[in-house]
């Protein structure tokens, strides 16, 4: 579609279609930004954290923390916080677990940034499209009433299909937004499960295993 054709298409849909067009750009921007943020946060990478937790359970505390300290992905940051809290002799186990839970809440809150906007777009885009259709239908029937007995059915039909453009456009924006929202939530739930598993394994490591490195063979 050329730029002139696109402009003509938007003009036919009226203000509602312009709003939906803006939402479509915003939706695409949020999806790309959120995918980049999750990739940056290691949402699809858990190998390093798994190795560190295994080292911790084998009694290699220094090696485990050294592996996680420079990493910035979500699982690694949570596991590192759990190890630090567990190693703090001045902190009781309930307090250490509470501190780890606090860090987990912060990390998960950061990982969910932008999802509310996608949810809102998925809800309001069809409503805006429906509003544009209703307004267009009102205008079409007003034109039919004004024309009286000289009404041309083809003119009425043209007004109706132009009014329906906004409903279709609203759905075309809402569907990708809803799909992306479900996918992002699924990814974050997986990360949350892995974080909970890592923290549990760290805190349930026996004290002897935590302080005694395996003998060399």
| pLDDT tens sequence across 181-192 | 999 999 999 999
Find the domain containing 165 and state its range.
Answer: 14-207
Decide if 111 is inside a domain.
Answer: yes
Q: Tell me if 8 is assigned to some domain.
A: no
Q: What 3-state class would DSSP assign to 20?
A: helix
pLDDT for the residue 3: 46
pLDDT score at 30: 96
pLDDT of residue 152: 61
For residues 137 and 62, the model is more confident at 62
Residue 32 lies in a domain: yes
pLDDT of residue 132: 85
Rounded to whole angstroms, the maximal C-alpha distance in the chain is 101
- Give the pLDDT score at 207: 66
Q: Residue 213 domain-assigned?
A: no
pLDDT range class, residue 25, cuts 50, 70, 90: very high
Mean pLDDT of the chain: 84
- The pTM score is 0.81
In total, how many domains does the chain have?
1
């Amino acid at each position: 579609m050329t730029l002139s054709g696109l402009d003509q298409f938007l003009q036919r849909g009226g203000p509602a279609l312009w709003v939906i067009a803006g939402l479509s750009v915003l939706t695409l921007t949020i999806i790309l930004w959120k995918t980049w943020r999750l990739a940056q946060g290691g949402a699809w990478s858990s190998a390093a954290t798994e190795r560190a937790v295994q080292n911790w359970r084998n009694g290699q505390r220094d090696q485990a923390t050294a592996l996680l300290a420079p990493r910035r992905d979500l699982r690694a940051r949570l596991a590192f916080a759990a190890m630090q809290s567990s190693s703090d002799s001045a902190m009781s186990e309930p307090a250490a677990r509470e501190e780890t839970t606090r860090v987990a809440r912060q990390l998960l809150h950061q990982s969910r940034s932008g999802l509310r906007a996608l949810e809102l777009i998925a809800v309001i885009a069809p409503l805006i499209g429906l509003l544009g259709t209703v307004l267009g239908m009102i205008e079409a029937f007003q034109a039919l009433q004004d024309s009286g007995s000289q009404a041309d059915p083809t003119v009425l039909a043209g007004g109706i299909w132009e009014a329906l453009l906004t409903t279709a456009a609203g759905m075309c924006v809402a569907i990708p937004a809803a799909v992306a929202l479900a996918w992002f939530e699924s990814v974050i739930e997986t990360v949350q499960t892995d974080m909970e598993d890592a923290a549990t394994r760290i805190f349930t490591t026996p004290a002897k295993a935590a302080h005694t490195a395996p003998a060399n063979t």
